[in-house]
């Protein structure tokens, strides 16, 4: 027997008080039967309507019978499913159960305790009315609904709503894109009514007097005109009254259950013995708990809470016993502590001195470097506040702290020795130039007269005259002391190189112009000397050796023509290629020429006394730049582009190869003692070779800012000079000691920069005066300058 069934029964019984009035039991029974009949009938009606359903459920009926012993539960479920087909059985059951009800159902008894004032009519309308009744109402209503009746007259459950659109409880905007708005009960589309635009609406608003009471039904899209009752209802709701108009709020209170405590109990059942005696099991449990509390196995909630409180948060104690003692523990390998953050300077102050604030330009620059903040001068923009009150929180503070955290755990660390030295410290300690005097310091004379760049200059061995060769195809002879041009010798081609014979007993200048090498008697100075030289060059010595074909093709010696004789030219040596450089041997008998295009015959040695030429090399070892005779030994220096080779002329073998490690050699000069060689290169370097020391440069000097064109040692003083395309002549001190253990001392002394620049060229050649510490330089600005 279940509650559900009893409830249902109660609903069906119009008068629940029948048991109290025991006398009219028989008549009541009859009534009951009538009512049951009445319930049965509509059920049968509904089966007629839903024939298919019946068939379907008849299958399940077998099962029902099979399980029918469990009665109520099963039945109740069936009824919730809404089948009215088994009402027959149900009713049978109920009849059987009625008697049982009377006996033992206590709930029913309690209900019967209530005062016997009957109220049959509202019982029908209550929501707890039987589900079968509900079934009946829905089945009856749906096909044809009586519009005159109020909607919720028979029942006000929400299930009974008028459903014309079957889409269910969905957001209606899902149908926004369609023409229909849902489906009716016949699965036909409910078409959306014609929708006018705002103007239509507005017109209707004006024309239609009932516009204010028309509402759109969201489910059907139809306009609904609200009735007066509806409006009254709405008004009531908006005013916060109870919606039902008939409800009387001030009706007298009916006390269904008494609030007074009765002196005598209503029911007379004596209390069970259990309610007087204390429970043994509980007592056992309590004693067990008490014991547990005593023993500390269990804790009171208070204690637990306190312990939890105490446990929360870290505990601190004396971790380090003393300040400096350390316990041996395994630590991280080779710890490197993170460097501390920089401390703030004046610029970070909230009220800095005014010069620390950015001006417009600095601000702009600071803002411009937004993408590369590391390039900024300061990582913040200095600000000035009038008072502490106005200082806001620093907007990047969090970010800075975060970056510091990242630094601490993500930045690789290493121990580095920070070089805290002054730049001065790196400059080698050299003696002061003032202690190394004399050396040229000022420009004292300018020799003007050439009309094109002056390629080469050479000084007479006695130091009175100067010869220069220029691109204007002239050779000029100057008096050094006065700067006067004594003689101009015109040639056919550009003069590439001039060289005064170093023998003081001869007065010959070798002039390289085009393919020809001219030996010129300048006719200056001692007349005896001039005469002697003329005599010497007048007649050719007898050729006793037959020259090879190779040399004959390359060089022809000849005496100069008459017109050239007048100019001073005495001998002409015609080469097969243009000559670039000519250099004398120290004694003045031999001279060497360089023809870069001559391949294996590019270097030639001529002997003046015998008017004979030699080709020292049979094989080309590279593009020869310049050649040089050793001042003392029979050695010959040949500079190719990268290297310098030293040959012994007597043994005819290679002595040494100097590695310059530079791209292109431009010139070289040898120290008068013959142990040190200075090489200039086009890649801005000057190389000092100590020939005894190594084949690699002893020192590389980068004194010039541009290609170095030429270098020269002084014959007497420990000086050397270099001329470069940066228009500067740099005079340096280059002391070579007799003591082999002491390395040469090199001190740059003076930069002389008075030449002017002409198409990338500055100084082309430098030469020292043979006696005085004077230096001559020729430049692209058509001048020769003397520095003393």
Partner 1 sequence: MRRPKKYESGEATQYISRRAALRKLQLSLNDFRRLCILKGVYPREPKHRRRAQKGSTEIKVLYHTKDIRFLLHESIVWTLRDYKIFAKKSSRDRAIKDFRNLKRRLALFPEIKLDHIVKERYPTFIDALKDLDDCLTLLFLFSTFPSLQLIPREQSNLCRRLTIEFLHYVIASKSLRKVFISIKGYYFQAEIKGQKVTWIVPHYYPFKPQSRQEVDFKVMSIFVEFYTIMLGFTNFRLFHGLNLAYPPQFPSSVLQDNEDTLKDEASFVSDRIAALNFELLRTDKVQEDEEELDIDMELLEQDGDSKRIIKMKQEAQEVARLRTLFKGLKFFINREVPREPLVIIIRSFGGKVSWDSSIYPGSAYDESDETITHQIVDRPSLGTQYISRDYIQPQWLFDCVNQRQLLPTNKYFLGEKLPPHLSPFVDSKRDTYIPPEEKALLDPSLIETHEQSDESEDEAEKEEEETVDQELLDAQLQLAYQEETAEYKKYGGVDGVNEDEEDLEDDDASDDDDDEEEELDEKAKRLKQEKQKMSVQSGKVHKVNKRQVHKAEVDEHRLQARMVKPRHRNLFRKLIREKQTKEKEEWLLRKKRRTIEADEKEARKTAKREARKEAAVAAAKAAKLGK
CA distance 330 to 368: 50
Of residues 557, 528, 530, the one with CA closest to residue 541: 557
Q: Is 322 among the residues that bind partner 1 (CB under 8 A)?
A: yes
CB of 698 to partner 1, least distance (A): 13
- Per-residue burial over 601-622, b if 16 or more Cβ lie within 10 Å, else e, is bbbbbbebeebbbbbebeeeee
CB of 370 to partner 1, least distance (A): 15
Q: Is 359 among the residues that bind partner 1 (CB under 8 A)?
A: yes
Judged by CB under 8 A, the stretch of 16-24, 176-184, 386-394, 452-460 that binds partner 1 is 386-394
DSSP state of 599: G
Q: Could you write out the DSSP letters of every residue in 306-320?
A: HHHHHHSS-------
Q: Is 392 among the residues that bind partner 1 (CB under 8 A)?
A: yes
* CB of 346 or CB of 673, closer to partner 1: 346
* CB of 74 or CB of 358, closer to partner 1: 358
Of residues 611, 610, 603, 546, the one with CA closest to residue 577: 603
644 neighbors 669 (Cβ within 8 angstroms): no
452 neighbors 472 (Cβ within 8 angstroms): yes
Q: Is 279 among the residues that bind partner 1 (CB under 8 A)?
A: no
Q: How far is the CA of 616 from the CAs of 301, 455, 584, in angstroms?
A: 116, 27, 16
Q: Could you write out the DSSP letters of every residue in 728-753?
A: -EEEEEEE--SSTTSPPEEEEEEEE-
CB of 270 to partner 1, least distance (A): 41
- Binding to partner 1, residues 323-352 (CB under 8 A): 323-327, 329-338, 340-341, 343-346, 348-352
Structure tokens at 396: 């990047």
Query: What is the x/- site pattern for partner 1, positions 751-780, by CB under 8 A?
Result: x-----------------------------
Q: What is the CA radius of gyration of the chain?
A: 64
CA distance 480 to 471: 21
Judged by CB under 8 A, the stretch of 198-206, 255-263, 282-290, 376-384 that binds partner 1 is 376-384
- Binding to partner 1, residues 425-484 (CB under 8 A): 426-428, 430, 433
The 3-state secondary structure of 640-687 reads CCCEEEEEECCCCEEEEEEECCCCCEEEEEECCCCCEEEEEECCCCEE
* CB of 36 or CB of 747, closer to partner 1: 747
* CB of 404 or CB of 505, closer to partner 1: 404
- Binding to partner 1, residues 716-755 (CB under 8 A): 730, 746-751
* CB of 169 or CB of 337, closer to partner 1: 337
The 3-state secondary structure of 51-63 reads HHHHHHHHHHHHH
- Binding to partner 1, residues 676-705 (CB under 8 A): 700-703
- Farthest-apart Cα atoms in the chain, separation: 186
CB of 668 to partner 1, least distance (A): 21
For partner 1 (CB under 8 A), the number of binding residues is 90
CB of 358 to partner 1, least distance (A): 10
Q: Is 386 among the residues that bind partner 1 (CB under 8 A)?
A: yes
One residue of 149, 235, 285, 404 binding partner 1 per CB under 8 A:
404
Judged by CB under 8 A, the stretch of 196-204, 315-323, 619-627, 638-646 that binds partner 1 is 315-323
* CB of 265 or CB of 344, closer to partner 1: 344
* CB of 631 or CB of 748, closer to partner 1: 748
CA distance 447 to 479: 9
* CB of 283 or CB of 751, closer to partner 1: 751
* CB of 278 or CB of 339, closer to partner 1: 339
* CB of 77 or CB of 364, closer to partner 1: 364
Q: Is 632 among the residues that bind partner 1 (CB under 8 A)?
A: no
Q: Is 409 among the residues that bind partner 1 (CB under 8 A)?
A: yes
The 3-state secondary structure of 1-24 reads CCHHHHHHHHHHCCCHHHHCCHHH
Q: Is 414 among the residues that bind partner 1 (CB under 8 A)?
A: yes
Sign of the torsion formed by the C-alpha atoms of 322, 324, 327 and 331: positive
Contacts of 694 (CB under 8 A, 6+ apart): none
* CB of 383 or CB of 593, closer to partner 1: 383
- Binding to partner 1, residues 114-173 (CB under 8 A): none
Q: Is 354 among the residues that bind partner 1 (CB under 8 A)?
A: yes
CB of 393 to partner 1, least distance (A): 5
Q: Is 313 among the residues that bind partner 1 (CB under 8 A)?
A: yes
Query: How many residues in total does the chain contain?
Result: 788
CB of 346 to partner 1, least distance (A): 5
* CB of 415 or CB of 619, closer to partner 1: 415
* CB of 205 or CB of 399, closer to partner 1: 399
CA distance 282 to 369: 81
Q: Is 408 among the residues that bind partner 1 (CB under 8 A)?
A: yes
CA distance 327 to 166: 83
CB of 769 to partner 1, least distance (A): 22
597 backbone dihedrals φ, ψ, rounded to 5°: -90, 5
């Amino acid at each position: 027997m279940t509650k559900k069934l009893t409830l249902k029964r109660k609903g069906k019984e119009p008068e629940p008080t029948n048991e109290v009035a025991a006398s009219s039991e028989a008549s009541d029974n009859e009534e009951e039967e009538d009512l049951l009949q009445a319930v049965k009938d509509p059920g049968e009606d509904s089966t007629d309507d839903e024939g298919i359903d019946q068939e379907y459920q008849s299958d399940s009926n077998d099962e029902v019978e099979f399980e029918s012993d469990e009665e109520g539960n099963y039945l109740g479920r069936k009824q919730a499913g809404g089948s009215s087909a088994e009402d027959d059985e149900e009713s049978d059951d109920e009849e059987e159960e009625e008697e049982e009800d009377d006996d033992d159902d206590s709930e029913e008894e309690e209900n019967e305790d209530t005062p016997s004032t009957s109220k049959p009519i509202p019982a029908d309308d209550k929501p707890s009315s039987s589900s079968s009744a509900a079934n009946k109402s829905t089945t009856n209503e749906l096909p044809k609904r009586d519009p005159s009746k109020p909607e919720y007259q028979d029942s006000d459950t929400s299930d009974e709503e008028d459903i014309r659109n079957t889409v269910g409880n969905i957001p209606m905007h899902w149908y926004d894109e369609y023409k229909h708005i849902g489906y009716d009960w016949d699965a036909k589309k409910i078409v959306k009514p014609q929708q006018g635009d705002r103007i239509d609406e507005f017109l209707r608003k004006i024309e239609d007097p009932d516009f204010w009471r028309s509402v759109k039904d969201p489910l059907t899209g139809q306009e609904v005109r609200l009735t007066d009752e509806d409006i009254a209802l709405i008004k009531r709701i908006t005013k916060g009254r109870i919606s039902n108009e008939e409800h009387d709020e001030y009706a007298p209170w009916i006390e269904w259950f008494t609030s007074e405590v009765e002196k005598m109990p209503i029911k007379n059942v004596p209390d069970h013995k259990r309610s007087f005696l204390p429970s043994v099991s509980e007592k056992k449990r309590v004693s067990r708990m008490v014991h547990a509390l005593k023993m500390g196995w269990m804790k009171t909630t208070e204690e637990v809470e306190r312990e939890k409180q105490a446990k929360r948060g870290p505990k601190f104690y004396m971790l380090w016993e003393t300040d400096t003692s350390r316990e041996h523990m395994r630590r991280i390998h080779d710890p490197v502590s993170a460097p501390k953050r920089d401390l703030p300077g004046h610029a970070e102050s909230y009220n800095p001195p005014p010069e620390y604030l950015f001006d417009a330009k600095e601000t702009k620059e600071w803002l411009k470097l937004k993408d590369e903040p590391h390039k900024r001068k300061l990582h913040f923009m200095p600000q000035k506040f009038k008072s502490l009150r106005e200082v806001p929180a620093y907007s990047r503070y969090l970010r800075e702290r975060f970056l510091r955290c990242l630094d601490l755990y993500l930045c690789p660390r290493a121990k580095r020795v920070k070089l805290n030295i002054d730049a001065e410290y790196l400059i080698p300690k050299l003696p002061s130039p003032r202690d190394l005097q004399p050396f040229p310091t000022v420009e004292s004379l300018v020799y003007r007269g050439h009309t094109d760049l002056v390629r080469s200059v050479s000084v007479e061995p006695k130091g009175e005259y100067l010869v220069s060769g220029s691109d204007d195809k002239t050779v000029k002879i100057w008096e050094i002391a006065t700067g006067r041009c004594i003689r101009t010798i015109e040639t056919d081609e550009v003069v590439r190189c001039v060289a005064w014979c170093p023998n003081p007993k001869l007065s010959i200048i070798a002039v390289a112009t085009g393919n020809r090498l001219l030996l010129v008697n300048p006719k200056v100075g001692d007349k005896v000397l001039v005469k002697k030289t003329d005599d010497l060059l007048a007649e050719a010595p007898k050729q006793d050796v037959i020259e090879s074909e190779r040399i004959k093709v390359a060089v022809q010696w000849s005496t100069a023509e008459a017109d050239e004789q007048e100019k001073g030219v005495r001998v002409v040596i015609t080469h097969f290629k243009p000559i670039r450089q000519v250099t004398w041997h120290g004694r003045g008998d031999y001279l060497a020429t360089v023809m870069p295009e001559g391949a294996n015959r590019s270097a030639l040695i001529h002997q003046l006394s015998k008017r004979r030429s030699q080709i020292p090399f049979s094989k080309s070892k590279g593009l020869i730049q310049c050649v040089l005779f050793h001042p003392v030994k029979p050695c010959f220096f040949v500079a190719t582009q990268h290297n310098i080779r030293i040959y012994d002329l007597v043994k005819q073998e290679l002595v040494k190869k100097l590695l310059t490690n530079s791209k292109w050699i431009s010139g070289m000069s040898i120290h008068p003692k013959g142990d040190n060689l200075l090489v200039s290169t086009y890649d801005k370097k000057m190389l000092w070779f100590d020939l005894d020391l190594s084949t690699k440069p002893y020192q590389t000097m980068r004194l010039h800012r541009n290609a170095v064109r030429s270098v020269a040692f002084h014959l007497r003083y420990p000086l050397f000079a270099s001329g470069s395309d940066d228009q500067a002549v740099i005079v340096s001190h280059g002391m070579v000691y007799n003591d082999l253990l002491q390395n040469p001392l090199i001190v740059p002394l003076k930069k002389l920069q008075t030449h002017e620049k002409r198409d990338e060229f500055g100084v082309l050649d430098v030469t020292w005066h043979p006696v005085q510490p004077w230096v001559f330089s020729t430049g692209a600005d058509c001048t020769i300058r003397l520095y003393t």
